Chain A
Amino acid sequence: MDYAQNKFSKRFVKKFMLSMVIFLILIAVQTFAFELYELSMLLKVFFALLPVVPLIWSFFIYREYYLTMDEYLQRLTGESLIWITGLVGFSTFAYGMLAMKMPMPEFNIAFLLPIIFGCHGVIVQILVAVDARAE
């Protein structure tokens, strides 16, 4: 998409990639801390939650980017968020309903956030493509 070439998009990509690099570093720090040291409960909680910090930062980076988008892209982003809320909400609800009645494969809810991030990006691209499609 050519709007990705504008300065806001470039700044967003740089900051977002930086937050992801920090996230991966903190995952490594967390893993080594748990593997190498006998941690107290307080330190276990601290190291377990450490990688959440860059993710919260990435959320604010995305919000800042959203505010720089033009009205059309903001509309598509909003529509995409409605889609992803529906998809995640209904799938987790359906999973929960099934889990109450029968044994279900385990699912780590930590994967929800990357799924939301990823699907949101894909849905925005689909919405842009649908609007741009020849009539």
Chain B
Amino acid sequence: MPVQNNLKALRAEKKWSQEDLGKQLGVSRQAINAIERSKHDPSLQLAFTIAAIFNLPIEAIFIPAKFTDNSSE
């Protein structure tokens, strides 16, 4: 079960495109798209870097599936 996140909303707040964020993180636009859609769980290192860029703790961006409201479990 992939980790949910609110990366898309945070990125929209900053008015960054997926490519802008990807450049800052050193990853492709496809990687950002996949993370936003919860198709790819970022590595711990990448998650820390994302948190640092938004100046937020990791748990404010990434929510484990079992803690989400719409989880079927």
Contacts and interface: CB of A to CB of B under 8 A. Distances in A.
Interface of A: 1-3, 6, 69-73, 75, 128, 131-132, 135
B8 interface: no
Interface in B6-63: 19, 26-31, 33-35, 37, 39-40, 42-43, 46
Interface of B: 19, 26-31, 33-35, 37, 39-40, 42-43, 46
Main secondary structure of the interface of A (DSSP, over half): helix
Contacts of B43: 71
A70 B33 contact: no
B30 A72 contact: yes
A75 B2 CA distance: 15
A71 B31 contact: yes
> Which are the 5 A-B pairs with shortest beta-carbon distances?
A72-B31, A3-B28, A70-B27, A131-B39, A72-B40
Contacts of B29: 2-3
Given A131-B33, A131-B34, A132-B33, A75 B40 contact: yes
A46 B37 CA distance: 52
Nearest to B32: A72
9 contacts: A2-B19, A2-B28, A71-B43, A72-B31, A75-B40, A128-B30, A131-B30, A131-B39, A131-B40
